[in-house]
Amino acid sequence: MTASLPRRSLTLRDVSMASGVSEMTVSRVLRNRGDVSPATREKVLTAARSLGYVPNRIAGGLASQRVNLVAVVIPSLSNLVFPDVLGGISAELDDTALQPVVGVTHYGPAREEAVLYDMLSWRPSGVILAGLEHSPASRSMLKAAGIPVVEIMDIDGPPIDVTVGISHERAGAEMAAHILAAGYRRIGFIGTHMPEDHRARKRLAGFERVLAEAGHPLVAREYYQGGSSLGKGRELTGRILSRQPELDFLYYSNDLIGAGGLIWAREQGIDIPGRLGLAGFNGVDLLDGLPIRLATTDARRVEIGRRAARIVAGKEPRPESGVIALAPTFLPGDTIRAPR
C-alpha cells in the first residue's frame, strides 16, 4: 500500500473555502490576532484541523518581514560544552515566540562565514555566536544585519554588539594562582594545538603570565591535534611525564583530557594530589561520578546561554558597555592540594 503523497500543501485558501470564512479571518484565528467571534473561530479551527493544515511560514515571514528565529552559531556539537550553552539558550527562549536554529562551524572561520551567510539569509531576529574572533566579512555581515548580535563565552576583546561570557585570561590566571598557592612549582600544560581555539589560547596566556610573574614559569607543554578524549589525555600525560618526570602539576585545556590524565596517573600509582596535581577546564558534570574529582574552572556555560538569549529576546536590556562579564569559578575538586 502506498500512501498517495499530496502534490502541494494546503493553503489558507483551502481552509477559507472549507470553513466559508475569508482567508484574512482564517489567518487571524490561526495567529490569535484581532477580534474574531467565537463561532467563526470554532469553524476555522475545525476546518484547519480536519484538513491537517500547517501554516506556511515562508509566506508568512515574507509578508510580515519578521521571522521568529534566532541563529546560534557554535564551533562543535561533540564538545560537551556547547549542548550546555544551547540548553541555557533554549530554556530562556522557551516562553517566547523565538526559536533557536543551530549552525556548526567546526572551528573554521571560513566555515563560520558560510554558516552566518546562510543563517542571515533566513532573516533571523537575532544572532548568538561563540567567540569574539571572526573574519572581516563575517563582522560586516553581522553589523549590516541590523539585528541583535550576541557573542558568547569570551569577553577578552571588543564585541560587535554585545558579548556575554567569562574572561579566559582571568580564568587561566586564577587557576595559576591557586596552583602556586598550593605550593606546586614545576608546572606543565597539555592542550589542543588549535590556532582557532582562541579561548584556550587566552587561558594559557593568563596562566603563563601569572606563573612567570611568580618566578615559576611553565616548564613543559604538550599539544595534540583533533578532538579531546580520555584516551588522548592518558597518552599525552604519559608522554609529558616520561619526558619530564620532575613535573608536579599538569594544567589541561579541558576536563576530558584532564580526566584521562587523572585515570592514567592513578593507574601508575602516582600520589594525587601529593606528588602530582591536576586541573582541567569547563566544569562538565558528565565526569561527576569518577572516583576523584578533577580540579577545574566552571565556565558558566548554561548561564551564558541564558543571558545571551535574554538579550536577544529583549527580556533584558543591551548593556551600556556591550559587555556582560560572568566570573569563572574555581572548583577545587580532589586533585589539587590545600593552599599552604
Partner DNA sequence: TTGAAAGCGCTAACAC
Partner DNA sequence: GTGTTAGCGCTTTCAA
Contacts with a copy of itself by CB under 8 A lie at: 3, 5-10, 52, 54-59, 61-62, 65, 67, 77-78, 83-84, 86-87, 90, 99, 101-102, 104, 117-118, 120-123, 140-141, 143-147, 229-234, 256, 259-260, 263, 267, 285-291
CB of 145 to DNA, least distance (A): 13
Binding string, 51-90, against DNA, x = CB under 7 A? Answer: ----xx--xx-xxxxx------------------------
Nearest residue (CB) to a copy of itself, 3 versus 39:
3
260 binds, options DNA, a copy of itself, none, Cβ within 5 to 8 A by partner type: a copy of itself
User: What kind and span of H or E run contains 121?
Assistant: none
8, 85, 84, 14: which is closest to 44 by C-alpha? 14
34 binds, options DNA, a copy of itself, none, Cβ within 5 to 8 A by partner type: DNA
Distance CA 254, CA 199 (A): 11
188, 332, 205: which is closest to 257 by C-alpha? 188
234 binds DNA (CB under 7 A): no
- Per the DSSP assignment, residues forming a β-bridge with 326 are 166
327 binds DNA (CB under 7 A): no
Angle between helices 255-267 and 230-243 (to 10 degrees): 60
36 binds DNA (CB under 7 A): yes
The stretch near DNA (CB under 7 A) out of 33-41, 73-81, 158-166, 258-266 is: 33-41
Other C-beta atoms closer than 10 Å to the C-beta of 187 total 24
The cell numbers describing 201, all together, are: 589560547
Q: Which of 34, 108, 183, 227 binds DNA (CB under 7 A)?
A: 34
Nearest residue (CB) to DNA, 99 versus 229:
99
Q: Which of 22, 140, 244, 321 binds DNA (CB under 7 A)?
A: 22
Judge residue 147's burial from the number of C-beta atoms within 10 Å of its C-beta, 0-12 exposed, 13-18 middle, 19 or more buried: middle
118, 91, 110: which is closest to 102 by C-alpha? 118
Distance CA 127, CA 150 (A): 6
Other C-beta atoms closer than 10 Å to the C-beta of 41 total 17
Tell me which residues touch DNA (CB under 7 A): 8, 10-13, 21-25, 27-28, 30-31, 33-37, 39-41, 55-56, 59-60, 62-66
